[in-house]
Structure 1
Amino acid sequence: MAKKSKVIKELKRQELVVKYAAKRRELKAAGDWMALQKLPRDSSATRQHNRCSLTGRPRGYLGQFRVSRIVFRELAHKGHIPGVTKSSW
Structure 2
Amino acid sequence: MARKSWIQREKKRQKLEQKYHLIRRSSKNEISKVAEMSEKWKIHGKLQSPPRNSAPTRLHRRCLATGSARANYRHFELSGHILREMVHTCLLPGATRSSW
Normalization by structure 2: what TM-score?
0.80
| RMSD, aligned CA | 1.4
Percent of aligned pairs sharing the same letter = 42
| In 2: Cα distance, 1:56 partner to 1:77 partner | 21
Residue aligning to 1:24:
24
Give the letter for the 2:65 counterpart. Answer: L
For residues 33-52 of structure 1, the aligned pairs below 5 Å read 33-52=44-63
Residue aligning to 1:75:
86
| In 2: Cα distance, 1:4 partner to 1:47 partner | 18
Offset of residue 30 of structure 1:
1.4
| In 1: Cα distance, 2:24 partner to 2:63 partner | 27
The structure 1 segments of at least 4 consecutive aligned residues displaced by more than 3 Å after TM superposition are none
| In 2: Cα distance, 1:47 partner to 1:53 partner | 18
Structure 2 regions of 5+ residues with no counterpart?
A: 32-42
Equivalenced residues, count: 88
Structure 1 regions of 5+ residues with no counterpart?
A: none
2:69 equivalent to 1:58:
yes
Normalization by structure 1: what TM-score?
0.88
Offset of residue 56 of structure 1:
1.2
**1:81 counterpart SS class:** coil
| In 2: Cα distance, 1:72 partner to 1:36 partner | 39
Give the letter for the 2:16 counterpart. Answer: L
